[in-house]
Structure 1
Amino acid sequence: MIVEQYFEDYEIGFTRRTMGRTITEADIVIHAGQTGDFFPHHMDAEWCATQDFKQRVAHGTLILSVGVGMTATTINPHAMSYGYDKVRFVKPVFIGDTITVEAKITEKRDHPKRATHGIVIEQVTVTKQTGEAALVCEHIYLVARRQATA
């Protein structure tokens, strides 16, 4: 779906929520193959059984990727991702956990060098089915203005 929003259209406090997605063993195996991260924390069930969590843990970067992907439901031709800040892996996600994502606009500001664009900050929280936050970060958008600032 295409949604055309300029910088001026974004409202602080606007919140989006996703449906759930269950993390599978296949997700972890595929992510390990894509990234080369075959650490035993993710891949070795027997070793993990001797550790604190007693089971394999999904890669934090997997949860970031899946969580961000879950929020990518529209295309805005006037905005693009400008990066992510303050990424924190708060709680582990295990095989069989179902995650949902909340994305809330928390800040708007001028771009320091581009009068034609502004910066929009979206607080992203990935939550497990237990209600615990698993990951938090700030998604930064570069968004075109209707009119350049002076």
Structure 2
Amino acid sequence: MTYFEEYEQGSTRKSHGRTITEADIVLHAGQTGDFYPHHMDAEFAKSLPGGERIAHGTLIFSVAVGQLAGEVNDQAMSYGYDRVRFIRPVHIGDTITSRSEIVALKEHTKRPELFGIAEEQVEVVNQRDEVVIAFVHLYLVNRRPGSES
């Protein structure tokens, strides 16, 4: 269990790689209803700059969140995501890795005696170490009981 007082600005994490498959794209399309031809139509995708289908940005975002979800921290929960940017396309067969850094620790504005906010900058890179998605993951983290804000 990690309380807010135990978070350290500058601490980093890195996931293992995961190769994106056609099955990932088809499953995500079925779950979301996004059957846009950029993702689903191989012939249409030949006319795109990359010449092939691209994975949904929301698929890659979801996989990245899961890659860093490792161990459960009973003292923290996701509070949201800021500044999500889809920078480069991900194609079938690309392998993505997620890396993160705690970039800010802030007091909760309404309940600073109970909670803090940890901001984690996340970059998702492909096998060429090119950033494909970047975002900030916000965590609502319990303060240690009896600690001062």
TM superposition score category, shorter chain reference: over 0.9
- Cα distance, 1:52 vs. partner? 1.3
Q: Deviations over 1:6-36 (max 9, x none)?
A: 0000000100001100000000000000000
Matches within 5 A, 1:96-107: 96-107=93-104
2:32 and 2:69 mapped to 1: Cα distance? 22
Percent identity over the alignment is 56
Which residue does 2:128 correspond to in 1?
130
1:7 to 4, 7, 13: 4
| RMSD (Å) for aligned C-alpha atoms | 0.9
Paired residue secondary structure (1:64): helix
Q: Tell me if structure 2 keeps the 8 A contact 1:17–1:103.
A: yes
Normalised by the length of structure 1, the TM-score is 0.96
Normalised by the length of structure 2, the TM-score is 0.96
* Runs of 4+ residues deviating >6 angstroms: none
2:116 to 118, 121, 142: 118
Which residue does 2:62 correspond to in 1?
65
1:71 and 1:51 mapped to 2: Cα distance? 31
Structure 2 gaps, min length 5? none
**Number of equivalenced pairs:** 147
Q: Does 1:75 align with 2:39?
A: no
Matches within 5 A, 1:42-61: 42-61=39-58
Paired residue secondary structure (1:100): strand
